Amino acid sequence: MSRKRVVVAGLGDVGLLTAIRLAPHADVVGISVKPGLLSGQELGVRLARPDDWARDYWIPFDRFRRLDGVRTVQAELTGLDLDGRAVLARDRDGTTITEPYDALVISTGVSNGFWRRTTLQSAAEVGARLYADHEQLGVAKSVIVVGGGAAAVSSAVNLATTWPDKQVDLYFPGERPLGEYHPRIWERVRARTAQLGIGLHPGHRALIPDSFTGEEITSDPVRWSTGQGPAVAEAVLWAIGRVRPNTGWLPPDLLDEHGYVRVTPELWVPGHREVFAVGDVAATDPLRSSARNRGDALAARNIRAALAGRPLRSFRPPTRRWGSLVGIQPDGLEVFFPNGHAFRFPPWAVERVVMPWVVRWGMYRGVRENRPFG
């Protein structure tokens, strides 16, 4: 019996893991606008310590052992032929690419600010932007972070940790940030912001300029719809959660009213049993939590089951977000649970156990060392 062909559209955090899980069981083709994994995780570490961040989150595809049998295509997705079961794309030279499939995984994620974009980029272009953002924030004597989610909080904490002499202020619209997390988690993080001297400004909802794209770190005064006077800093980091699903290449009838891919609890697209969606692009629940919580494992399992005619399993989303908030720090890695409690891995455990064994072998099934881009 010939192996089935699975196309994974989008090789970000979740798409990559799904492809890795499917690789031993099918002929997998992965399509990505980047030449490697460019994670959307840990924005704060990315901005404050780009070398450390790139080591774990900006990785060439050929370093992943389980991708050895996967054909990766760097191209921009342009369309989907559901009747013909083919994905359409365009490479950097403008050449049209057609990839047929027996099963399709839609894992194109979302765009969000300057750190999650759908543009075709070379490794050199990604690296240049990575260090330009770091240098722009590094030379600024004062930084405003606008937003109340995990990306904003992580950015404020990491910037203040790396540059203790820099004035960092966090402005957010509610009474507290991290509204999708257990209140106990914010209490713990707030203690750290106090130690770092981060200014906290609740009840500030930003007026978004007409020219705002979210793709730049700005320096203009920030004005508020909630009545406060303008806030001024040498650099303004916008982390306001204005996400846009990367679904412009898909037929509109696959999407909900917000542009996300409609899915059943089994992660397949209604009316198309050979098409699945997982990650931030999939409308599983209000938190779109198949982007975490092992949604990749369920998607891969259900695709194999669907191709073999076996029953599928359902995704059960959690009610609160959880996980690491500020990334690996000099004193280790703190992981928060849905009930608000936390566990801290000491630095030695992060270096010798968590990253090499839990992440590189447990999650990714093996990552080769010291193989740079190019």
Shared domain check, 15 and 112: yes
Shared domain check, 282 and 146: no
Q: Which residue has the higher pLDDT, 112 or 268?
A: 268
Shared domain check, 11 and 29: yes
> How far is Cα 101 from Cα 87, in angstroms, rounded to an integer?
8
Residue 145 counted as domain residue = yes
Q: What are phi and psi of 174, to 5 degrees?
A: -95, -170
The rounded percent of the chain whose pLDDT value lies above 90 is: 83
Domain boundary among 175, 209, 240: 240
Shared domain check, 300 and 261: yes
pLDDT band at 243 (very low <50, low <70, confident <90, very high): confident
> What average pLDDT does this structure show over 57-61?
96
pLDDT band at 1 (very low <50, low <70, confident <90, very high): low
> What average pLDDT does this structure show over 17-21?
97
> What average pLDDT does this structure show over 109-117?
85
The SS3 of residue 63 is helix
372 pLDDT exceeds 70? no
Q: What would the pLDDT profile of 203-239 be if each residue is shown by its tens digit?
A: 999 998 777 777 789 999 999 999 999 999 999 999 9
The rounded percent of the chain whose pLDDT value lies above 70 is: 98
327 pLDDT exceeds 70? yes
Residue 113 counted as domain residue = yes
> What average pLDDT does this structure show over 171-177?
95
Shared domain check, 251 and 111: yes
pLDDT value at residue 339 = 87
> In total, how many domains does the chain have?
2
pLDDT value at residue 370 = 67
- Pairing mode, strands 5-9 and 27-32: parallel
Please, what is the angle between helix 13-22 and helix 295-308, to 10°?
Answer: 40
Domain boundary among 240, 257, 276: 240
Residue 374 counted as domain residue = no
284 pLDDT exceeds 60? yes
Shared domain check, 155 and 259: no
Residue 35 counted as domain residue = yes
Tell me, rounded to whole angstroms, the distance of Cα 25 from its chain centroid: 26
Shared domain check, 115 and 11: yes
- Per the structure, the complete domain to which residue 201 belongs is given by 123-240
Please check whether residue 75 is in contact with residue 120, taking contact to mean a CB–CB distance below 8 angstroms.
yes
Residue 230 counted as domain residue = yes
Shared domain check, 12 and 159: no
Q: What are phi and psi of 35, to 5 degrees?
A: -85, 10
pLDDT value at residue 374 = 46
The mean predicted confidence, pLDDT, of the chain is: 93
Domain boundary among 240, 270, 303: 240
Helices (H), 31-163: 43-48, 50-57, 123-139, 150-162
> How far is Cα 75 from Cα 8, in angstroms, rounded to an integer?
12
pLDDT band at 373 (very low <50, low <70, confident <90, very high): low
Shared domain check, 247 and 113: yes
Check which CATH number belongs to the domain holding 153 and give it. 3.50.50.60
Residue 366 counted as domain residue = no
Shared domain check, 225 and 127: yes
pTM, two decimals, is 0.93
Shared domain check, 57 and 160: no
Residue 259 counted as domain residue = yes
> What average pLDDT does this structure show over 318-337?
88
pLDDT value at residue 289 = 87
Shared domain check, 178 and 104: no
Residue 102 counted as domain residue = yes
